Amino acid sequence: MAKTRQITSHWTGPTEGWTLVIHGGAGQLKREQVGAEGDAHARAAIAAALDAGASILAGHGSALDAVEAAVRVLEDDPHFNAGRGSVFSAEGINELDAAIMEGTTREAGAVSAVTKARHPVALARAVMEQSPHVMLTAAGADRFGAEHGLEQAAPAWFHTDERWRQYEELRAGGTFDADLKYGTVGAVARDTQGRLAAATSTGGLTGKRWNRIGDSPVIGAGTWADDRGAATSCTGSGEHFIRVGAAHELSARVRLAGAALGEAGDGVIGEIGAIGGVGGLISVDHEGRGGWSFNSGGMYRGMARADQPQVVAIYGDE
């Protein structure tokens, strides 16, 4: 029987303006573990991602453009497990997953196990807009990206010494990713026209085998957007989020059961915890409510709204 985990959450009320929420992964995230330097860098990176998305939304741009812009900032930051700085698989390779979805038409794009796209979220958007498909994987997705002019990067771009150290530690018999940190990044937004969008990007789990794919690129599990309900991006033990269909489940509770956004978000995290899952999610609904819920020790997270100052947080007691 899974142990009961405390749920930490924060949800705002509706707004007539825009709303942007981002995350940079969930895990134990204790202050002594993160350290003063890591804390400062993470907060600055989250703020930069919020700025990138907020500038688009404040200019009456689309939620889709805003979530991509925010995620791209975090993909370029080596301290997050997405894009540059992604963890290594059992074969010592960076295998990247990403998804993006917009809520008006429910068009979506996703990629998994890609190794060459500098910005996997941009590749996922290209799949959505320039192919008849929703998800491409591995060599085929890499080839699609090259054929469609997506910026490519050599393996050295994704490599960081700290991620390699974690990989070596795991190979030596450690358990680095066990209930420690799921560094997926993601963003959700409602724009001034009421449109929703969600995007998620990750390097997965350190030492993952057999081209393992988690929830991040699975539409309906780690990423979902529907203007009639909610847009959600998840982070955590991906297998549990897939089993719950977490991102779609939250939206369905809002759209079909009439649940408030916070009630739905907390309920989904509670269900994930009940089957042994750990992690968190961010979400925004069609009336601009936004926030997060997680059952881990902390989650890198931030929110910006047209009518409120930015909020940036890491630990469970913030």
Q: Is the pLDDT assigned to residue 1 strictly greater than 80?
A: no
The structure's pTM equals 0.95
- Tell me the pLDDT tens digit for each residue of 268-302: 999 999 999 999 999 999 999 999 999 999 999 99
For the chain, the average pLDDT equals 93
Q: Is the pLDDT assigned to residue 239 strictly greater than 80?
A: yes
Please indicate, yes or no, if residue 115 is contained in any of the structural domains: yes
Told to judge if 184 belongs to the known catalytic residues of this protein, a careful annotator would answer yes
Please indicate, yes or no, if residue 102 is contained in any of the structural domains: yes
Residue 93 lies in domain: 8-315
- CB distance 24 to 18 below 8 Å: no
Q: Is the pLDDT assigned to residue 179 strictly greater than 50?
A: no
- Catalytic-labelled residue, pool 8, 12, 115, 184: 184
258: left (phi over 0), alpha (psi -120 to 50) or beta: left
Please indicate, yes or no, if residue 260 is contained in any of the structural domains: yes
Please report, to the nearest 10 degrees, the dihedral formed by the alpha carbons of residues 201, 144, 117, 44 taken in order: -40
The pLDDT value recorded for residue 204 is: 87
- Tell me the pLDDT tens digit for each residue of 26-52: 988 888 888 899 899 999 999 999 999
Which pLDDT band holds residue 175 (cuts at 50, 70, 90)?
A: low
Please indicate, yes or no, if residue 3 is contained in any of the structural domains: no
Which pLDDT band holds residue 178 (cuts at 50, 70, 90)?
A: very low
Mean pLDDT of 172-178: 61
For residue 49, give the CATH number of its domain: 3.60.20.30
Please indicate, yes or no, if residue 1 is contained in any of the structural domains: no
Please indicate, yes or no, if residue 200 is contained in any of the structural domains: yes
Domains: count for the chain: 1
The pLDDT value recorded for residue 173 is: 77
Query: Residue 66: how many CA atoms within 13 Å on its side-chain side?
Result: 32
Enumerate residues 6+ apart whose C-beta is below 8 A from 67. 20, 53, 100, 187, 188, 189, 197, 198, 199
- CB distance 296 to 260 below 8 Å: no
199 phi/psi in degrees, rounded to 5: -145, 145
The pLDDT value recorded for residue 28 is: 82
Over 224-286, what HEC string results? EECCCCEEEEEEECHHHHHHHCHHHHHHHHHHCCCCCHHHHHHHHHHHHHHCCCCEEEEEEEC
Please indicate, yes or no, if residue 164 is contained in any of the structural domains: yes
Please indicate, yes or no, if residue 2 is contained in any of the structural domains: no
